[in-house]
Every structure is written in structure tokens, then in C-alpha cells.
């Protein structure tokens, strides 16, 4: 089995963005985070660090858990009107008391570098994309970079979120794949996923997809990002690599695993993205690319 590691591609994408910034394109990203969710804090920190690497100016608006929908809308409105801000991202999920839909729809579509606004989602569905959500866009870049044939392939996307599942399916369809979307109500999931030459998994359940779900030789893209700390679970998921992962658990209290059981997938898959080291790196790189695009479009 071939590991579809993405560090090299992510570095190349960021280098391309950096080169354009150094040639004189000015770009700025405003990242908004509400509350103290540790995972959200890490994600925003990684995005801010990436901005520094490529030369995009960034600002981090860290708001307290008590922030109301109206207060957050006021900040978004302010960022919309500022000419020195090209991209706005609101780290999801937001606290339960905030109207997430209202916040997403309040962002100016021309600054919606996450690609979540209904205008950008609609343009993607029509085959006229402007800003594509970073994770699906990064997956397409990875498949192209590694020469994975999309045209004519049977593709299956497990998960129907607006962030990954649905836009992923749209992109694959536009590249002439035959696409099936599966979700929590799909009957006999393994029977469906086993037909896929290309399997993309984004469901948020640690190691859920096993050997029985995977067609021999298939390309498997694991979008999941879950933490596991139970010793027996680590051994079940990682097989021969379990001891290395247990060392990570001993140091950090947990280790990362995707939605695919890596030990079982290695027995049947032709290619598999690792976690970490796979899709997550591309998500940040593509966000930088979207921010650069927003800046260029606005200045045109």
C-alpha cells in the first residue's frame, strides 16, 4: 500500500502563494474564534502560523464563550467593510447558543475564503466555483498530483456535511467521476463503499471504516481527525505501528487517528492518506491559496 503523504504538496502550494506575495500582492486574513475549545484554538493557531510563513497579514479575533450572535454579527459586519481585510474565516463549530447559519451568511461572499456562504456553495454546485472549501479542494490537488484517475472512477463520499462531504461530491462529479454519497442512514454501508475505486471518508468516527468497507486496490482519502488514548484501541487501530503511537500517548495523553482503521485499510487499499500528515496539511495550504485569490479578485 502507498501512503499518500501530503507534506511535500502542501509546502509547494504555500511556496507558490509566498512567491506571489513577494511579487507585490497584498493579502490579509481575519480569523475569528469564539470560546475556549482546545481543538479550535490549535486549528486557528496553525492557520495564523501559515499566514506568517507565506507573508499574508493576519489578525486573530479571539472572543469569549459568552459572545452573542448579535455581537459576532457586529464584528463580521465590521470586517466586511474594511478594505484592508481580504478574507474572513470563522472557526467552526461555534458555541451552541450562536446561530451558525446566520454568521456564515453574514460574511461577504467575496471574502468567504472558507467557501461556506450559500452564494459560493451555489456557484460550486453550478460548476462555476469561486471559493471552494479548503479540504475538498486540497484533496483534488492531491489526487491530481499523484496521478490518481478521477474521470470514470466510481467514487464514494462517506459524510454529507457542507464543509467536506457535499462539496467533495460536487468536485468529483465535475471531474467526471460517478459519485455516491453515503451517510448515517445508508443501508449496508460496506456493500456500497466496496464498489468505490476512490473512497473519501469524513464522518468523525475514529477508525470506523475497516477492511470490509474497502475495495481491493482502492484509493482511500481519510479526512477524519480524532484523538484516542485507550491502549487496546490504539493496538487495534495501528497494528505494527502501535508501539510508536503508544509512545505518543504516553507523552501527550492521546494520538491522532482518522475515520479509517489504518491497520485494516493497509491490508486492502492501494493508497491511503495518513493521519496526521495527510489531508489536514492541505486544508491549511488551500486556505492560503483562497486568501490570495480573494485579494487578487478584490483588487481587480
pLDDT at 276: 93
Cell 486557528, located at residue: 44
70 counts as catalytic: no
In this prediction, residues 79-99 reach a mean pLDDT of 97
Say whether pLDDT at 286 is over 90: yes
Q: Which of 91, 112, 170, 215 is catalytic?
A: 91
What is the CATH number for 47?
A: 3.40.50.10860
Does residue 184 form part of some domain? Answer: yes
Does residue 126 form part of some domain? Answer: no
For residue 299, what pLDDT band results from cuts at 50, 70 and 90? confident
Q: What is the count of structural domains for the chain? A: 2
Strands in 28-34's sheet, in edge-to-edge order, are 57-63, 28-34, 87-90
Q: Which of 14, 47, 215, 293 is catalytic?
A: 47
Q: For 173-192, write each residue's pLDDT tens digit.
A: 999 999 999 999 999 999 99
Measured over the CA atoms of residue 125, residue 130, residue 133 and residue 136, the dihedral's sign is: positive
Q: Which of 14, 86, 112, 114 is catalytic?
A: 114
**Structural domain containing residue 258:** 134-281
162 counts as catalytic: no
pTM: 0.95
Say whether pLDDT at 169 is over 90: yes
170 counts as catalytic: no
What is the CATH number for 244?
A: 3.40.50.720
| Cα gap 188→238, rounded to integer Å | 25
Tell me the C-alpha to C-alpha distance, in Å, between residue 170 and each of 75, 153, 268, 290: 32, 14, 27, 18
Amino acid at each position: 500500500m502507498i501512503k499518500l503523504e501530503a507534506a511535500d504538496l502542501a509546502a509547494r502550494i504555500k511556496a507558490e502563494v509566498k512567491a506571489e506575495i513577494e511579487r507585490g500582492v497584498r493579502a490579509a486574513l481575519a480569523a475569528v474564534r469564539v470560546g475556549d475549545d482546545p481543538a479550535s484554538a490549535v486549528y486557528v493557531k496553525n492557520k495564523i502560523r501559515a499566514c506568517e510563513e507565506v507573508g499574508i497579514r493576519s489578525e486573530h479575533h479571539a472572543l469569549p464563550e459568552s459572545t452573542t450572535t448579535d455581537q459576532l454579527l457586529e464584528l463580521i459586519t465590521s470586517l466586511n467593510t474594511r478594505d484592508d481585510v481580504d478574507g474572513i474565516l470563522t472557526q467552526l463549530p461555534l458555541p451552541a447558543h450562536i446561530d451558525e447559519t446566520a454568521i456564515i451568511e453574514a460574511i461577504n461572499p467575496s471574502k468567504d475564503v472558507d467557501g461556506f456562504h450559500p452564494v459560493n456553495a451555489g456557484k460550486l454546485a453550478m460548476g462555476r466555483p469561486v471559493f471552494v472549501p479548503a479540504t475538498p479542494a486540497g484533496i483534488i490537488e492531491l489526487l491530481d498530483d499523484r496521478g490518481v484517475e478521477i474521470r470514470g472512477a466510481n467514487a464514494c463520499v462517506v459524510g454529507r456535511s457542507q464543509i467536506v462531504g457535499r462539496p467533495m461530491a460536487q468536485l468529483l462529479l465535475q471531474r467526471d467521476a460517478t459519485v455516491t454519497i453515503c451517510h448515517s442512514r445508508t443501508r449496508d454501508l460496506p456493500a456500497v463503499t466496496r464498489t468505490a475505486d476512490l473512497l473519501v471518508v469524513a464522518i468523525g468516527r475514529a477508525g470506523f471504516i475497516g477492511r470490509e468497507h474497502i475495495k481491493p486496490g482502492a484509493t482511500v482519502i481519510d479526512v477524519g481527525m480524532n484523538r484516542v488514548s485507550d491502549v487496546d484501541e490504539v493496538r487495534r487501530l495501528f497494528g505494527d505501528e502501535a508501539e510508536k503511537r503508544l509512545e505518543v500517548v504516553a507523552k501527550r495523553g492521546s494520538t491522532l487517528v482518522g475515520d479509517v482503521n489504518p491497520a485494516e485499510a493497509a491490508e486492502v487499499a492501494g493508497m491511503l492518506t495518513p493521519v496526521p500528515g495527510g489531508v489536514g496539511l492541505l486544508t491549511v495550504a488551500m486556505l492560503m491559496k483562497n486568501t490570495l485569490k480573494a485579494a487578487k479578485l478584490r483588487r481587480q
